[in-house]
Structure 1
């Protein structure tokens, strides 16, 4: 294996507009390559090191879906159950519909939201955190907005389409976290810690940081085209309540820590040390394409060509369309600041890539990085 092209790519993008980048490649449970370059703090010119913690944003979704799949394995929930069986606030939903004359009407939903719809982004939600019901719930909870209160607020808003009829990237996995809480009885963060991160030995992955961890939180940036440089932009805009444990975008982690979780999925749900978080059957279900004839057209991001959408993850379905060197069945997701997960059971390959830039250049960086890794094996 010669990973020189991969290190050259990291050098190139960190000399371009990304302040720092790091990649970790695990093959057959061995770390075969790890490389980082750039400055974690541009103002102080501090080189990036292993201990820095980042917002992983939407890569939280993979863990949220794994947590909920554990409940499926236990028989506590079924994917085809109505969501209202566990979260009764979703029993009587309305839908915003466009009439023939161009006007918009709010009508009673004809179809129930099912648990499956939360996994597959087909519930009818949007990603708008500024809707009146959510903003009112923030005020009523004095800025805390616990996870269950968030779901209760969202349920008051009309859906954007009938559940199951379209795909829309949305707050589905935040509601999925509330579902885990309602069914299990523990706070979502407690459930994740006791059932996933704790058993896997992930000490730096959490929704809230200790003072010591806070001291290792990497500065976050956004690239300013007018200034021609990255400027500081800290904070997580998806964390709109101090007690909201966002199943869609709320986790902090490190490259080393999150790679432990990703590699367990690569191993069909069991870590190299024998810690099982999911069954092989559940992992295979997670990476099975769930798009239908009705929803496939909505999943139209250009850099996801050749990929379907499983239970909270992209999943490779066509090499003829994807321009990807990875095999069919490779899966994963990414985050708003640019991190990327590649999980490939067939090749026994795990890739954890990280950066901390909000306008992240994902369509350029991620497909190239993935192809370079496979070319180096």
Structure 2
């Protein structure tokens, strides 16, 4: 193994527009590479170390679906079960149909939550969220928010298509109901502690300082070649506020709530790559469940609506992208390679065939995923 290409690629990103980045890679259960480039604080020229606490946004989803699959393994639910059997507020749903609203013909199933096919959206400036803020005096506990969310009409009939949404936030509430534990506490006891992830949290402890977060604000072009040619600090500004997808102090966001370090979350990636067994031999999922997790769950019609360019050649398993067509993707990774990304540049990759795991992060919203994510995967496998 030679990771010179990985080092060079990461340096090229920080020479471009990314303020700083870090990566940890495991192969066969052993850490084989870690590296940081650039700055955690661009203005103060504080070097990136990889020990910074970061918002990983939607990379949280991979841990959320893992936690929910633990409860599936315990017989707490079936994927085919209607969601309303556990969350009654989803019993009678309505669907937008042009300018009118009609009753849904099919119930949302638990599989629909895992696979983003429930008909939900990521819209948060809605009457449902305003109602939840009033009911909770702004504290926005997860259960109340999701009860209010169920009052919103769906975008489409459950199961009709794929749409990125708050599905995994609802899945977190399902986990709360069937486990009898607050979701953040369940995650601590069943994911973080078993894997020795001692620097992973929901909500920020008083003694933890979050690394500065940036945003790339250039909106005048979507052409990645033009963006690469700009000065690397152009449009990159420090962001003064935190994670707006954590709606309140009591909201445990299944979709975006984890605060962690690159080294900590890489331990979780390594457990998935090792078919559910952590570096310390603690098992968080069975190998059979990991196989199910990485199996494409979308039919052809659903997959056509998962049309992000960086996901060409990928299907969607139980909460993760999964490689199903190497030719279409242009990826040199293995069939069944899984992972996901986050809004500020976190990316998780796990491959049970090669037993390789990667967790990479920068901390910049509008993170240029179309550019760096597919290249990052290709560079990883070239290094092996």
TM-score, length basis structure 1: 0.96
* Match runs of 1:181-260 below 5 Å: 181-213=176-208, 215=209, 217-225=210-218, 228-233=234-239, 234-260=241-267
**Which residue is equivalent to 2:167?**
172
Alpha-carbon offset, residue 178 of structure 1 = 0.6
* Match runs of 1:261-300 below 5 Å: 261-300=268-307
Indicate whether 1:13 and 2:13 are aligned: yes
**Which residue is equivalent to 1:47?**
47
Give the total of aligned pairs.
Answer: 370
SS at match of 1:66: helix
**Which residue is equivalent to 1:79?**
79
Indicate whether 1:114 and 2:109 are aligned: yes
Indicate whether 1:162 and 2:171 are aligned: no
**Which residue is equivalent to 1:349?**
356
2:123 paired residue among 114, 119, 128 = 128
Residues 138-184 of structure 1: CA deviation (Å, up to 9, x unaligned): 12201111111111011000011110111100000000001111111
User: Following the alignment from structure 1 to structure 2, what is the Cα–Cα distance between the partners of residues 97 and 223?
Assistant: 36
SS at match of 1:18: coil
2:135 paired residue among 125, 140, 148 = 140
User: Following the alignment from structure 2 to structure 1, what is the Cα–Cα distance between the partners of residues 355 and 40?
Assistant: 30
Alpha-carbon offset, residue 266 of structure 1 = 0.6
User: Following the alignment from structure 1 to structure 2, what is the Cα–Cα distance between the partners of residues 229 and 64?
Assistant: 33
Alpha-carbon offset, residue 294 of structure 1 = 2.4
1:149 paired residue among 124, 144, 147 = 144
**Which residue is equivalent to 2:313?**
306
User: Following the alignment from structure 1 to structure 2, what is the Cα–Cα distance between the partners of residues 373 and 143?
Assistant: 43
**Which residue is equivalent to 1:66?**
66
SS at match of 2:212: coil
User: Following the alignment from structure 2 to structure 1, what is the Cα–Cα distance between the partners of residues 255 and 377?
Assistant: 23
Alpha-carbon offset, residue 229 of structure 1 = 4.0
TM-score, length basis structure 2: 0.94
User: Following the alignment from structure 1 to structure 2, what is the Cα–Cα distance between the partners of residues 209 and 239?
Assistant: 11
Residues 312-345 of structure 1: CA deviation (Å, up to 9, x unaligned): 0000001010110101010011100011111001
Ranges of 4+ aligned residues in structure 1 off by more than 3 Å:
224-227
User: Following the alignment from structure 1 to structure 2, what is the Cα–Cα distance between the partners of residues 306 and 212?
Assistant: 43
SS at match of 2:380: helix
Q: Is the 8 A contact 2:41 2:47 kept in 1?
A: yes
Alpha-carbon offset, residue 42 of structure 1 = 1.2
**Which residue is equivalent to 1:101?**
none
**Which residue is equivalent to 1:339?**
346
